[in-house]
A and B are shown apart, each in its own frame.
Chain A
Amino acid sequence: GDSVTQTEGLVTLTEGLPVMLNCTYQTIYSNPFLFWYVQHLNESPRLLLKSFTDNKRTEHQGFHATLHKSSSSFHLQKSSAQLSDSALYYCAPNSNNRIFFGDGTQLVVKP
């Protein structure tokens, strides 16, 4: 079946350090769309970035990710974390008209 794995439940790092949140997926549909959603405290999830194209980097609001179909991965990265990046991040493949959310990774950025 379809599934998504975010290996880190919690990532804590110091402001200015690079961010990498891992995401791997398994889908029945061979060409899924991949999304990252971000949810700040007491808010609803909103789209951060998305991709469909293999091996093409996509960027938004300082974050970037590259879809690698060969390894079924879509890791989220940022070169320098900011305090305002503290939030819950969801990786989500859309397979056959149904989107699946991972358990999420809580990112905490400290001064």
Chain B
Amino acid sequence: DMKVTQMPRYLIKRMGENVLLECGQDMSHETMYWYRQDPGLGLQLIYISYDVDSNSEGDIPKGYRVSRKKREHFSLILDSAKTNQTSVYFCASSLFGQGYTEVFFGKGTRLTVV
């Protein structure tokens, strides 16, 4: 069963706390992504990972970092969360070098920073 799993689905954190969003996939995809989605702003790429320990900044990396120690897991970390990081975060994965294949998305994590 091809799946991208995100945990947790909902999270409320206080400003200044650290946040860990986790993502897993069971398709052995090399490429994984973290996006955030805000109303009217579409899907904004935070980080892209091409494989273990091969991570690149996306369009809005400031305030975020990532970790990929296993191909099937990709974590997003917010050190000292800010209220403007309240958003819906999507993890996604795809095959590398196969531009014709689709990107699979997780169900998203709704993060609220108060």
Q: Cβ of A103 and Cβ of B107 under 8 Å apart?
A: no
Q: Cβ of A97 and Cβ of B90 under 8 Å apart?
A: no
Q: What class of interface size applies to chain A in its complex with B?
A: 20 to 34
Q: Cβ of B43 and Cβ of A45 under 8 Å apart?
A: yes
A35-B102, A94-B99, A97-B31 in contact; A103/B42 too (CB < 8 A)? yes
Bound Cα distance A37, B94 (Å): 14
Q: How many A-B residue pairs have CB under 8 A?
A: 49
Residues from chain A with a CB closer than 8 A to the CB of B15 are none
How many residues from B make CB contacts under 8 Å with A? 22
Q: Cβ of A97 and Cβ of B43 under 8 Å apart?
A: no
Q: Mark B90-106, 1 if CB is under 8 A from A, else 0.
A: 10001011011011011
B108 to chain A, nearest CB (A): 6
Q: Cβ of A45 and Cβ of B105 under 8 Å apart?
A: yes
Q: Cβ of B100 and Cβ of A101 under 8 Å apart?
A: no
Question: Does A33 lie at the interface of the complex (its beta carbon under 8 Å from any beta carbon of B)?
Answer: yes
Q: Cβ of B41 and Cβ of A103 under 8 Å apart?
A: yes
Which of chain B's residues has its CB closest to A32's CB?
A: B99
Partner pick for A103 among B31, B40, B99, B105, CB 8 A cutoff: B40
State the 5 A-B residue pairs at the shortest beta-carbon distance, nearest first: A103-B42, A44-B105, A47-B102, A101-B43, A94-B99
| Selected A-B contacts with CB under 8 Å, 13 pairs | A9-B40, A33-B100, A44-B90, A44-B106, A44-B108, A47-B102, A94-B99, A94-B100, A97-B31, A97-B96, A97-B97, A99-B103, A100-B45
Q: Please report B residues at the A interface, Cβ cutoff 8 Å.
A: 31, 33, 35, 40-43, 45, 48, 50, 90, 94, 96-97, 99-100, 102-103, 105-108
Q: Please report A residues at the B interface, Cβ cutoff 8 Å.
A: 9, 32-33, 35, 37, 43-47, 50, 52, 90, 92, 94-95, 97-104
